[in-house]
């Protein structure tokens, strides 16, 4: 954080994990499905008709993977459009977890070339077809947990820097950092005496 010129979290800032915790990633197909759904959400944000979105969901057998807010947005455009657009950066983090991009640098924006590695929903590429053409190389769970810990601290530091009016180290803002943390928090699963079973996408707690 100091290298980036950002304020450091206080010593009392809670830890992401505790000594003795075990860590793993969610099943690969769950991470792939979440990435595909966020790609669909973004397609709806930028003009895909609801009928086309539903058709893709049905042909991809992913209807049950949507959260209630996502369902209402895809089918009827209900909800905060801006908040769904922000998922751009959560999708970037999922791409890193799948090995589709080599970095998740907090000072760098989303690599727009990643669109080629994601489902071509506009062309009707289904989830299964996308999986068959995409060679993923999932990150090691410990490496992912270390990056989560970094983004966990970054989330606090970016919000504090914006509150104090201090310059940020790049073009990425606190919203983008929070979205990347959201995806990492969801995908990295800790087990131990201080952890509850993993929750759903909408249950990720970014309050600390």
Q: What is the pLDDT, as a whole number, of residue 208?
A: 79
Q: What is the pLDDT of residues 157-200, one digit of tens each?
A: 999 999 999 999 999 999 999 999 999 999 999 998 888 889 99
Q: What's this model's pTM, rounded to 2 decimal places?
A: 0.95
Q: Is 36 exposed, middle or buried (0-12, 13-18, 19+ CB in 10 A)?
A: buried
In the predicted model, is pLDDT for residue 101 greater than 90? yes
DSSP state of 112: G
3-state secondary structure of 121: helix
Do the domain assignments include residue 142?
no
Q: What is the pLDDT of residues 27-54, one digit of tens each?
A: 999 999 999 999 999 999 999 999 999 9
Do the domain assignments include residue 178?
no
Domains identified in the chain, total number: 1
Q: What is the pLDDT, as a whole number, of residue 1?
A: 67
Do the domain assignments include residue 77?
yes
Do the domain assignments include residue 117?
yes
Domain ranges, residue 125: 27-101+108-133
3-state secondary structure of 63: helix
Average pLDDT of the segment spanning 77-83: 93
Distance CA 155, CA 9 (A): 10
């Amino acid at each position: 954080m100091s290298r980036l010129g950002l304020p450091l979290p206080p010593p009392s800032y809670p830890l992401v994990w505790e000594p003795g915790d075990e860590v793993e990633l969610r099943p690969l197909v769950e991470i792939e499905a979440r990435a595909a759904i966020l790609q669909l959400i973004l397609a709806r944000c930028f003009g895909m008709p609801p009928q086309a979105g539903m058709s893709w969901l049905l042909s991809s057998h992913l209807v049950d993977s949507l959260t209630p807010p996502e369902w209402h947005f895809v089918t009827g455009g209900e909800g905060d459009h801006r908040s769904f657009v922000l998922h751009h950066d959560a999708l970037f983090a999922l791409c890193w977890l799948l090995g589709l991009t080599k970095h998740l640098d907090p000072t760098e924006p989303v690599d727009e070339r990643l669109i080629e590695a994601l489902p071509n929903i506009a062309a009707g590429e289904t989830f299964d077809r996308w999986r068959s053409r995409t060679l993923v190389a999932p990150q090691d769970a410990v490496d992912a947990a270390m990056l989560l810990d970094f983004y966990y601290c970054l989330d606090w530091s970016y919000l504090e820097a914006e509150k104090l009016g201090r310059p940020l180290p790049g073009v990425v803002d606190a919203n983008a950092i929070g979205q990347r943390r959201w995806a990492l928090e969801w995908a990295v699963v800790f087990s131990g005496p201080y952890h509850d079973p993993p929750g759903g996408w909408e249950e990720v707690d970014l309050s600390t």
